[in-house]
Amino acid sequence: MNPKGRKLLLMTHITVSVGWIGAVLAYLALVIAAMTGHSDPLLRGAWIGLELIGWYVLVPLAFAALISGIGIALGTPWGLVRHYWVVISLLLTVGATAVLVQHMTTVSSFASMAADAAMADVSGVLGPALRGELLHAGLGLVILLGIETMNVYKPRGLTAYGRRRSGVVADSTSHAVGRGELATPRVPRWVHAVWIHAAALLLVLAVMHLAGGGLQLHN
């Protein structure tokens, strides 16, 4: 990729990625306002607003961040599967996008109920479901900030494919030596830390759903 195209793609990726985080913050603000407002009209308006933010802001930004990120990886020496931080960022972005799209169908269901003027028990139905929204959006924000951190700091660590492409060989101490430089271990410690934290977030989400905190979303 030529320098001008690379800069344009990088600018696009930064814009949509930061915009995705900003949209999640706006989503969270609306959820918290609805949870603390104790008003039926506010609950109705909040769910309708959440659906609009989700489908018309969050989802497009998520796909734009994913596509532009893949484009940057393929169009630069970083590659798509050469570095652990790129692979992990890609997997987390794909996972976050998939969960977002799946979850938005539930949000649309509640938004349809909110728009129904004949609905009687607004607080009893729409209110408890906001706990699930707070959980989903909160965990989503943590994941996005983690991705952003990796993209900025670019922690060292080549995958097996990356080591082969770079002509790096491993010695008996599991450290990689290539091109006259001592490289990082086969699997850096930070990679294990990221996977442990990601698994912990998934476990928290599963426990909250099983305990009833998120089950309101699927009634």
pLDDT in tens, 170-189: 443 344 444 444 444 568 88
Q: How many domains does the chain have?
A: 1
- Least confident range from 71-85, 98-112, 195-209: namely 195-209
Domain assignment present for residue 135? The answer is yes
Domain assignment present for residue 106? The answer is yes
Per-residue pLDDT tens over the stretch 66-89 = 999 999 999 888 899 999 999 999
| Domain residue limits at 66 | 3-155
Per the prediction, the chain carries an average pLDDT of 85
The whole-model pTM stands at: 0.82
Domain assignment present for residue 93? The answer is yes
Domain assignment present for residue 174? The answer is no
Q: Is the dihedral of CA 106, 112, 118, 120 positive or negative?
A: positive
